[in-house]
Structure 1
Amino acid sequence: MNRIIKFYHECGSPPSFYRITGHWLRPMFWLALTLSIYGLIDGLFLAPEDYQQGDSYRIIFVHVPAAWMSLFIYAIIGIAGIMTFVWRMKVAEAVMMASVPIGALFTAVTLLTGMLWGKPMWGTYWDWDARMTSELILLFLYIGVFGIYAAYDEDPRKAARLASLVAIIGLVNLPIIRYSVEWWTSIHQGSSISLMEGSTGIRDWDMLRPLLVMALATKFYFIYSMLSRARIYLLRTEKQKQWVQKAVLGAQPSGGAS
């Protein structure tokens, strides 16, 4: 327990966070790349054809993991926002703002692939369905968090606190997205994974395997991209600190600094 607490406090310190996470970047990148290649080949070419949707269902191997990530990343942003607003942790600020563009990207992919899937399945690219509309609102929330921060970028600490308020308020949208197909009449299908008989979820392992692999791949990609961005954020906002000078000089080849 003491080691866990010590690790938590170390990660809360910008120089320790920068140093520790530097060792994670390469493994996260290669895991994300390897799993993405395997998952896409397995899902797009090797998985069996769906008996109702045919080959058009294969877009779920991109759409569903992206949708899961759009919610997961916003939850991370909301938690980091609480830590930023209450305890003013610089590392939490870095994680929050580093996560925003990644989450917005996954949300945009979710909406785009959902529209491409919707046309052959439902006969329309877009319907003001509860799930679709709440996912669109999620994209606006990502944009809102980034926009608020950018409006006060001359004072990063103030900008991060104001952006955290938007992030915290937006958490209310997550359960709405998750349960929208149950709370309201919806053309959108229910959960994509279910082990219960009579459900519409995927139970065939040959279809489920690439979906789970892609879910893991997107998680590793998020960790890699978020940590890379968070480290840059800390270097920029802490540029006057001595640890940044040492980190930058230490990253240069010998003889590169005069």
Structure 2
Amino acid sequence: MWKWLHPYAKTEKAYQLCSSLSPWFWTGAIICLLIGTVWGLAFAPSDYQQGDSFRIIYIHVPAAILSMSTYVAMAVAALVGIVWQWRTAFMSMIALAPVGALMTFIALFTGAAWGKPMWGAWWVWDARLTSELILLFLYFGVMALYSAFDDKQQAGKAAGVMALVGVVNIPIIHYSVEWWNTLHQGATISKFDKPSIAPEMLWPLLINLLGFALFIGAVTVVRLQNEIVRRELHRPWVQQLACSKLDANLEHNDAV
């Protein structure tokens, strides 16, 4: 069933896959983010309670959802690396970590900006906010632990174990609103039978969610390619790739 995935354990195949996916991810991300952001900020109707301040939802909600999704993806890559000893899995894990940390920071920052007019404070030790802050520290911890080892295979294993342990925080973030008395509002778009948001507000939010996901994919494949090149500089195919890119740059400069 998973035989199609096995070739991408090889760094050369993984690099080629990234090259194929990158333009699609970047194009889709730019289109979706432009449409979703302009639609949400300029054309979606105002909320009857929050007025125009609710529009930060088009940045905050996608970032918050994908901060958790990216961590799960990072943990899955760590699991694959630990169980099957795939170097490319560990490389994918560390490629995802800074992008997930960025999404978590955006979620926290926009959440604070939204909370000020709604709650009267930039920050409260709410269960959802606190567990999201812990998620940011988990991302930092994975990156720091990976950087602490010279042997990157051992670094991947150590950071991978930490990533897997940190998965316990994901359901805490998701269900914190239901488990504890919290200021944070409940689910909005995850109630698929009847989302608690009007369709004219929902569609730009879903488009931006897709745009953020494609942006994460685009940045991750670029980071993965860079990680592969750094780790595989001694490989003939990497040296050949570097020479071909150098020749292409020289030809471009000569043409200019």
Q: Residue type of the partner of 1:176? A: I
Q: Residue type of the partner of 1:192? A: T
2:232 pairs with one of 222, 227, 238: 238
Q: Does 1:174 align with 2:131?
A: no
The CA distance in 2 between the partners of 1:82 and 1:223, in whole Å, is 19
1:212 paired residue number: 206
The CA distance in 1 between the partners of 2:146 and 2:17, in whole Å, is 27
The CA distance in 2 between the partners of 1:159 and 1:111, in whole Å, is 28
C-alpha contact 1:64 1:192 (8 A) present in aligned 2 = no
C-alpha deviation, 1:168, in angstroms = 0.6
1:17 paired residue number: 14
2:78 paired residue number: 81
Deviates more, 1:13-22 or 1:61-70: 13-22
2:154 paired residue number: 158
Q: Residue type of the partner of 1:27? A: W
Q: Residue type of the partner of 1:64? A: V
The CA distance in 1 between the partners of 2:100 and 2:199, in whole Å, is 28
Question: Could you list the runs of 4 or more consecutive aligned residues of structure 1 that deviate by over 3 angstroms after TM superposition?
Answer: 194-197, 254-257
Q: Does 1:191 align with 2:178?
A: no
1:34 pairs with one of 23, 31, 34: 31
Instruction: Name structure 1 gaps, 5 residues minimum.
Output: none
Check 1:195–1:21 CA distance in 2 against 1; reply closer, same or farther (3 A cut): closer
Q: Does 1:53 align with 2:47?
A: no
C-alpha deviation, 1:253, in angstroms = 2.7
C-alpha deviation, 1:196, in angstroms = 5.5
* SS in structure 1 of the partner of residue 185 of structure 2: coil
C-alpha deviation, 1:246, in angstroms = 2.3
C-alpha deviation, 1:34, in angstroms = 1.1
The CA distance in 2 between the partners of 1:195 and 1:139, in whole Å, is 28
Aligned-residue CA RMSD in angstroms?
Answer: 1.7
Deviation per residue, 1:14-36 (Å, 9 max, x gap): 10111122011112111101111
C-alpha contact 1:94 1:231 (8 A) present in aligned 2 = no
2:88 paired residue number: 91
Deviation per residue, 1:130-163 (Å, 9 max, x gap): 10000000000000000111111x2211111111
Q: Does 1:251 align with 2:245?
A: yes
The CA distance in 1 between the partners of 2:182 and 2:168, in whole Å, is 20
Count of residues in correspondence between the two structures: 250
Q: Which one has the bigger helix percentage?
A: 2
1:126 paired residue number: 123
Q: Residue type of the partner of 2:227? A: Y
The CA distance in 2 between the partners of 1:54 and 1:195, in whole Å, is 25
C-alpha deviation, 1:195, in angstroms = 5.4
Check 1:29–1:196 CA distance in 2 against 1; reply closer, same or farther (3 A cut): closer
Instruction: Name structure 2 gaps, 5 residues minimum.
Output: 252-256
